Structure 1
Amino acid sequence: MRVRLFVYVGVMAAIFSLSNGTGSPPMASAQAKHTEEIARLHQNILYPTVRVRAQRSVGSGTIVASIKNGDRYDTYVLTNHHVIENAIEIKEEWSPLLKAMVKKETRSTVEIEQFKYQHMSQATGTLLILADIVEWNMGHDLALIKLRSDDKFPTATLLPRGKESDLRIFQDVYVCGSGLGRSPFPTSGIVSSLVDEIDNQPYWMVSAPSVFGNSGGGCFLSATHEFIGIPSRIPVTWTSWSPNAVYHMAYVIPISRIYSWLYETGWGFLFDPSAPSREKWLADKKKGENKP
């Protein structure tokens, strides 16, 4: 198996003034814009990325909403179901009321680690926050977690619903997550495919390298920093009886599927102010008025 390393080399040209030998204002302006862009990348991509711990599993998550609710904030993290599945137990128990064995679901507490940084980029430690699994779906491999914190957190900006049809192969992207359990870090690549299907579910593929632990993190457009999906799988090939992960073929759950799932389960208000609140959605569902 050959491993190819692609190195991007940037060339910076400076225009010097004949009078004093200092860099020209255009170059200073370009440098300032570059510095501002780096700061925005931290704020929009790195800081909303968290590490997720559920029993024996470690993965990633993205803070997608921190909504003001009175004098506090309700904060939600998106991740993969397989990241938190060890915190979900379904077993049969005897029901004295029904006089029969019934299935009962138990959800354990999940730990979310938000990283603290100095000098913008240097991770200095974590803030551990207990959290609850409020929604999950094994088929979609999606889970929604609510933090047990009243504080406001940095959030990712989601690609507006309907805009996913504008995505094209060759668009630049970042993937950010806690690969191998590390503090969150980004990798870069392009959109490679928009028509993959796994287990009868649509996926996109990007070339940004992803490793074990990236599951549940975020995939973002480089140009706008908008969240477009969740890196969830990488293919594995077998050579001479040993597995080899193909890290540059990362399968991403599309934002369109995430939107549909959140709407169908009553969490559409997280990104759509016109959607009913969770309480109203549950009440309407109980009345039989809610349509999937």
Structure 2
Amino acid sequence: MKKQYFRIGIISVSTIALIAILYFTLFKGQIFAQPQIGANKPPIEMNPTIKALNDAYQNAANAVIESVVNIRVKLKQNQKGGTFRVFPFDENDPFFKDWQDFFKHFQDEDESELSAAGSGVFITSDGYIVTNNHVVENADEIRIMTFDKKEYKAKIIGTDKLTDLAVIKVDGDGFKPVHFANSDEIKIGEIVIAVGNPLGLSSTVTSGIVSALGRGGLNLIRPEDGSRGNPAIENFIQTDAPINPGNSGGGLFNLNGSLVGINTAIATRTGTYIGYGFAIPSNLVKRVASEIIKKGKFERAYLGVYIKSVDQVLAKALGMKDVKGAIVNQIEKGSPAEKAGIQISDVILEVDGKKIESSNDLQLEIAKRAPGEVVELTILRGKEQIKKKVKLEARDSFVAEKTDSEDIEEPKPGEPTNIEKLGLVVTPLDDKIKSEFDVKNGVYLKNVTKRSLINERGLLPNGVIVKVDGQDINSVKELKKIIDSKKPG
């Protein structure tokens, strides 16, 4: 009888244990599991093409970021430095002052004045760095910080104000230099990344595309000792890659990780990026930097012509189908151009087969060449295209355009002169025009730009200008002198 009860007890305990095991097996997740945070997988699998592009951005950024440095400049007493070039405002503009005030937050407490800040790019493994002239000009002390946070003291090797480029150097070796792309091969729409140190933020990468090529006439580079006869070389790559103060001297790269330009300025009305940034093309950077490293300065080639871009009015007056080229207004005596037989009113269309769209293009093509090189110019003279070979010579101050009416020679009868301020094309009087209009002095009004102020006032071409503000006009030179003396408004 006792045996029977014992067996029943064992069976009862075993049953209860089995039920407990089954219960915990089936419901233990509900008792012990934590709630799942987030989904198990991404909602979309990245398209292989998009993934390849994403990888290209990452690879390019990682490949070049070590080559870009932060530059900090302590200025000489009572001197101003340029953290950035902002178009269309200059350093006295209130928007520019806002950024100077902003950068004061980054200066040391014991500094009595604002230091300049910018970026630079290693171009050799032994410490040569290219940057903008306006970043390091007036420097009393220059320090750079690399991507790995190491600091070095730098010295200026040489500068060139007319290209806004400078080369500095730090002691050391094993730095990662950039690879230079051929900027002549850059296309509008090409993807680029800008690397620099904007607003005190180190090693920043932004991206965009090449928006335009050959941008000039922005007056972003204004050397203190320059003149209208010695203009800065402005032939920028325009990009929409975000560029801000502190990016000056940083690199613009393609997705191969090759340098296509040195960032120098933005066009803005707010002091910050609004979609328009400008970079100096890599071919010019390489040419200037190499020369500075070798000689301590950039020895520029000299053609010896004063030029203007051909606009629609001039093209029509010259009977040109296309609005392109640079027209020669004057030739310096004894210059390479004079020796080669270049003439006033020649329109330069090509340099060694490279098309010249504007005066900026001609400036850049000559600047990329060394003194002693021979270039072949394709020229429109009247209705005929001719070619002239010119041996370039050295000159300390490159002269590519002259607008000062005091220095411009009087053109010959029939030679058009563009008065841009008023939208006029005029020529000196010849005997036929004097007889037709029964005048002894004046200039012949050959054309008027549509929608110009003069056009809106009803002045039409095919007439003679004999007086301006009561003053007799005897020549084109006199007319330009009077017009140039007038202030806007």
TM-score range, shorter chain: 0.5 to 0.7
Q: CA deviation at 1:191?
A: 0.2
> Is the counterpart of residue 153 in structure 1 residue 193 in structure 2?
no
> Is the counterpart of residue 109 in structure 1 residue 136 in structure 2?
no
Task: Kindly indicate which of the two structures has a greater share of residues assigned to strand.
Answer: 1
Is the contact made by 1:44 and 1:155 (CA closer than 8 Å) also made in structure 2?
no
Query: 250, 264, 275: which one pairs with 1:248?
Result: 275
| Cross-structure match for 1:279 | none
Is the contact made by 2:197 and 2:247 (CA closer than 8 Å) also made in structure 1?
yes
Is the contact made by 1:43 and 1:154 (CA closer than 8 Å) also made in structure 2?
no
Q: Give the share of equivalent positions with the same residue, in percent.
A: 27
Total equivalences in the alignment = 202
Query: 130, 135, 138: which one pairs with 1:83?
Result: 135
> Is the counterpart of residue 164 in structure 1 residue 183 in structure 2?
yes
| Cross-structure match for 1:215 | 248
Q: CA deviation at 1:58?
A: 1.0
Letter in structure 1 aligned against 2:164: D
> What residue ranges of structure 1 are gaps of 5+ in the alignment?
1-10, 16-26, 67-73, 88-107, 117-125, 238-242, 269-284, 286-290
CA shift in 2, pair 1:203/1:148, >3 Å: same
Q: CA deviation at 1:261?
A: 1.6
Distance in 1 (alpha carbons) for counterparts of 2:188 and 2:53: 25
Distance in 2 (alpha carbons) for counterparts of 1:111 and 1:219: 22
Query: 151, 157, 160: which one pairs with 1:128?
Result: 151
User: Which TM-score applies when normalising by structure 2?
Assistant: 0.38
Partner SS, residue 133 of structure 1: strand
Structure 1: 4+ residue segments shifted above 4 A: 33-39
> What residue ranges of structure 2 are gaps of 5+ in the alignment?
1-42, 75-114, 220-231, 296-370, 372-392, 395-489
> Is the counterpart of residue 62 in structure 1 residue 132 in structure 2?
no
Q: CA deviation at 1:109?
A: 3.5
Deviation sequence 1:155-189 (CA, Å, 0-9, x none): 21111xxx322211100000010000111111000
Deviation sequence 1:221-261 (CA, Å, 0-9, x none): 12x11101111111132xxxxx4544320011111221232
Is the contact made by 1:132 and 1:146 (CA closer than 8 Å) also made in structure 2?
yes
Partner SS, residue 123 of structure 2: strand
| Cross-structure match for 1:5 | none
Distance in 2 (alpha carbons) for counterparts of 1:255 and 1:78: 11
Is the contact made by 1:214 and 1:231 (CA closer than 8 Å) also made in structure 2?
yes
Is the contact made by 2:214 and 2:236 (CA closer than 8 Å) also made in structure 1?
yes
Task: Kindly indicate which of the two structures has a greater share of residues assigned to helix.
Answer: 2
| Cross-structure match for 2:351 | none
| Cross-structure match for 2:196 | 177
Structure with larger RCO (C-alpha < 8 A, sep 6+): 1
Is the contact made by 1:57 and 1:86 (CA closer than 8 Å) also made in structure 2?
no
CA shift in 2, pair 1:249/1:260, >3 Å: same
CA shift in 2, pair 1:164/1:42, >3 Å: closer
- The CA RMSD measured in Å over matched residues stands at 2.9
Distance in 1 (alpha carbons) for counterparts of 2:291 and 2:156: 17
Is the contact made by 1:174 and 1:189 (CA closer than 8 Å) also made in structure 2?
yes
Is the contact made by 2:253 and 2:260 (CA closer than 8 Å) also made in structure 1?
yes
Is the contact made by 1:81 and 1:142 (CA closer than 8 Å) also made in structure 2?
yes
Is the contact made by 2:184 and 2:283 (CA closer than 8 Å) also made in structure 1?
no
Partner SS, residue 147 of structure 2: strand
Letter in structure 1 aligned against 2:177: T
Distance in 1 (alpha carbons) for counterparts of 2:276 and 2:263: 10
Partner SS, residue 204 of structure 1: strand
